[in-house]
Structure 1
Amino acid sequence: MKTIITVLVMVLALPIGAQEFQGKAIYQSKTSIDIKIENGSISEDQKEQIMESMKKSMEKTYELTFDRASSLYREEERLGTPGASQGGVFTMISGSSQGEYYKDVQSKTYVHQTDMFGKPFLIKDSLRTWEWKLSSETKKIGNYTCYKATAIRKPNNIFSNKEKNESEQDSVPQEQDSTQGRSLLSKIEKPEDRIITVWYTPEIPISQGPGPYWGLPGLILEVNTGRTAILCNKLILNPEKKEVVEEPSKGKRVTQAEYDEIMAKKMEEMEKRWKANSNRKGGNTFSIKIQG
C-alpha cells in the first residue's frame, strides 16, 4: 500500500543527537476482524448497527511524543467514540494500546495507564526484550528509507492462565447447563504466537516506536501483527513548541503480572454471569463471536 507521510522539520539547524531533540509521530491503527452475532433474537438492523460500531472502534489514531530517551503513546480523542471505559477484554480483542503508554529506553521500563471496566490502573514494569531479526530488505515510507525487522510475540498470560485452570478442572464432574460446556472466552479467538513485522528508519536514530515496540536502531514507522496494522502518516521533528514527555501517574499501581491476575479474575466473574444469564434464558442468549 502506497503511503504519503508528511514531514515537518521546524528547526533544521539542530542536530538529531542534541539533548533537546524532540518529535511527534502520528499513527493510524486498523484491526481486521470477522464479527458474527449468534443465538440472539435481535433484528438484522440491530446486528448491522452493532457490527458497524465495533468495526469503527477498531480504527484509531495515536500520537507518539518522543525525545532521545523516552516516549508517550496515546490515542487521539475523538467525539462520539467509545471511551476508556471499554478496557479489559475489548483491548485484547482489538490488539491496540489503550490509555497512555510511556517508555524509558534508558532504564528499560514502561508505565501503562489503562482502565479495567472503569477502574484506572497504572502498570509499571520492565520493557519486553524483543528478539528482532534484522533484514536487509528496504522500502520507502514517505521520504524515509526503512528497514524490515521481525520478532515473535507470545500470547497474553491471561489466556495461558485461563487455559491452565480449565485443564485442571477437566477431571472434575461439572453440572450440565445450557451453555453446553462453552465458556465466554470461547467466543473470543485465543491469541497464538504471532510474527510481528516492523519497518524502522535509521535516519531517525532513536530506539522508539508505537506502544510496546522498541529496541531497533531507528524509529519504528510501521507495525504489522497479522491482524493489526499501525502506520505513521505524519512526523514532526523539533517543533517550536516543546512538549514534556511525562510519565503517567493516575491509577492503582501494579506490576504487569498483578494486572494480569486481576484481569483473569474479572474474566472469570464475567463468565459466571454469562453462564447464569444463559441458564435463565434457556440458552437463547445474544453473543458476539470475534475472529482475527
Structure 2
Amino acid sequence: MKITEFFKYAIFSLTLLVGVCSFAQNDFQGKAYYISKTSIDMDNFGRPGMSEEQKKRIAERMKSMFEKTYVLTFNKTESIYKEEEKLEAPGQGQGGRFRGMMSSFTGGDQYKNIKDKVFLQDQELFGKQFLIKDSLSQINWVMGSETKQIGQYMCFKATATIADSSFDFTRFRRPPENRTNAQDSTQTKAPKTNDSEKLIQVEAWYTLQIPINQGPGEYWGLPGLILEVNAGRTTVLCSKIVMNPNDKDAIKKPSKGKEVTKLEYQEILEKKMKELRENFRGRGRGGRRG
C-alpha cells in the first residue's frame, strides 16, 4: 500500500472510531439536510404536437416545483423527514395553485423506526388527511467497494431494484384531438396498473462515519447514513450535517388523519387520479370548437 493511501485510510479509521464513540451517547441526535431534484420527461408531458420551445418554457416554470429541500432529524433508532417550507416568489400565483394541487401527490412528513420496523407518513389529499401506517419496506441492497467523497465524509456505493412509487405526471395528458367518440369512450378508461411492477434502479452512497441505518425518504437499511440517492429521474443529495445540535428537536410520530396502509392509500390515489383525468379530458372535449 502506498504511503498516501495508508494515511488516507488511517485518518478514515480514526474518524470512524471517533464517530462511533459519539453514538454511545444516550441523547444522541443528528440533522442531515438534503436537496432533491427531479427532471421531467417532457416528451410524454403536455399537449400532443407541443413544440420543443413550448416544452422548454413549461419545464423552466415547473423547475422550482421539483427542486425541494428536506431535513432528516435522526437518533439511534428513529427519524423524521420533513420538507423545508419555501416562501413563494411574487408573481407566481398560478404556479402556486398548481403547486398546491401537486402537493397532494407528494409525500408529507415521514417517520421511520428502525428498531420496530415502523413507517408512518402524514399525507393530505385534496383537503382530506390520511395517516399512512405500515411496516418498513425491506430494500435488498447490493453493497460494492466503490467509494467517493461527499463533503468531509467517505461514502460507499450500494445499489438496489425497487418499486417506483413516484407520481406519474404523464397520466394527465389529453388524448389526441383526432380520436373518434368511440375511441374516446375506450381510451378514457385508465388501464389497470400495478405499481409494484414498475421497477427502477437505485444507486445510494452511505458513510460509515455516521453508523446508523437511516436515509432520506423511505431509504434505509445500510450500515451508515445515506448521503446521496439516484433513483429514476430523482437525485437526493445531502448538503449539510449537524451532529448533536445544542437545541434538539423532538422526533414526533405523525398521528393525525384516517389510518391506511401504503397499498390502501395507493388505491385511493389511483381512484382520485382517474376522476381528475376524466374531468380534465371532459373539459378538453367541451372546449372544442365545431
Trace 1:178-193 onto structure 2 (pairs within 5 A).
178=184, 181=187, 192-193=198-199
Show the 5 A alignment for 1:66-145. 66-80=74-88, 82=96, 85-88=101-104, 90-91=105-106, 98-145=107-154
Residue 226 of structure 1 and its aligned partner are, at CA, apart by 3.2
Equivalences for 1:116-265 in 2 at 5 Å? 116-156=125-165, 176=182, 178=184, 181=187, 192-265=198-271
Asked if 2 retains the 8 angstrom alpha-carbon contact of 1:25 and 1:235, the reply is yes
For residues 42-88 of structure 1, what are the alpha-carbon distances to aligned partners after superposition, in whole Å with 9 as ceiling and x for unaligned? xx88x776433311111111000000010000110000174665234
User: Is the Cα contact below 8 Å between 2:132 and 2:261 reproduced in 1?
Assistant: yes
Deviations 1:7-65 (A, max 9, x none): xxxxx997222221100000011111133532599xx88x7764333111111110000
Q: TM-score, normalised by structure 1?
A: 0.74
Q: 1:205 to 1:283 in 2, by over 3 A?
A: farther
Q: Measure the CA separation in 1 of the matches of 2:132 and 2:188.
A: 32
| Contact 1:177-1:279 within 8 A present in 2 as well | no
**1:149-172: CA deviation from partner (whole Å, max 9, x where unpaired):** 00101244999xx9xxxxxxxxxx
Q: Specify whether residues 24 and 258 from structure 1 end up closer, same or farther in structure 2 by C-alpha distance, changes over 3 A only.
A: same
Amino acid at match of 2:75: D
Structure 1 residues 84, 215: closer, same or farther in 2, change over 3 A? farther
Query: SS of 2:102's equivalent?
Result: coil
Superimposed CA distance per residue, residues 129-163 of structure 1 (whole angstroms, 9 cap, x where no aligned partner): 0000000111111111111000101244999xx9x
2:155–2:206 contact (8 Å) kept in structure 1: yes
User: One-letter code of the match for 1:80?
Assistant: E
For 1:135 and 1:283, locate their aligned partners in 2 and report how far apart those are by CA, in whole Å. Answer: 59
Aligned to 1:17: 24
Name the residue aligned to 1:276. Answer: 282
Task: Tell me the alpha carbon deviations over residues 262-286 of structure 1, each in whole angstroms, 9 at most, x when there is no partner.
Answer: 11211221222133223323499xx
- TM-score, length-scaled by structure 2: 0.75
Change (3 A) 1:40 1:118: farther
Asked if structure 2 preserves the Cα contact closer than 8 Å seen for 1:208 and 1:218, the reply is yes
For the 8 Å contact 2:73–2:79, the answer to whether it is kept is yes
**2:72 — aligned with what?**
64
Change (3 A) 1:16 1:280: same
Cα distance change of structure 1 residues 27 and 157 upon mapping to structure 2, 3 Å threshold: closer
Bigger fraction of residues in helix: 2
**Partner Cα distance (2:137, 2:20) in 1:** 35
CA contact 2:20–2:209 (8 Å) conserved in 1? no
Which AA in structure 1 matches 2:226?
I
SS at match of 1:37: coil
Q: 1:38 to 1:241 in 2, by over 3 A?
A: same
CA–CA distance in 2 between the matches of 1:77 and 1:282? Answer: 39
Structure of larger gyration radius: 2
Give the aligned residue type for 2:63: K
Residue aligned with 1:272, SS: helix
Partners of 1:121 and 1:57 lie apart in 2 by 23
Once residues 166 and 41 of structure 2 are traced to their aligned partners in structure 1, the CA distance between those partners, rounded to angstroms, is 24
CA separation in 2, counterparts of 1:116 and 1:205? 36
Q: Which has the higher strand share?
A: 1
Structure 1 residues 250, 273: closer, same or farther in 2, change over 3 A? same
Greater relative CO (CA pairs within 8 A, separation 6+): 1
**What root-mean-square deviation, in Å, do the aligned CA atoms of Structure 1 and Structure 2 show?**
3.5
Aligned length: 250
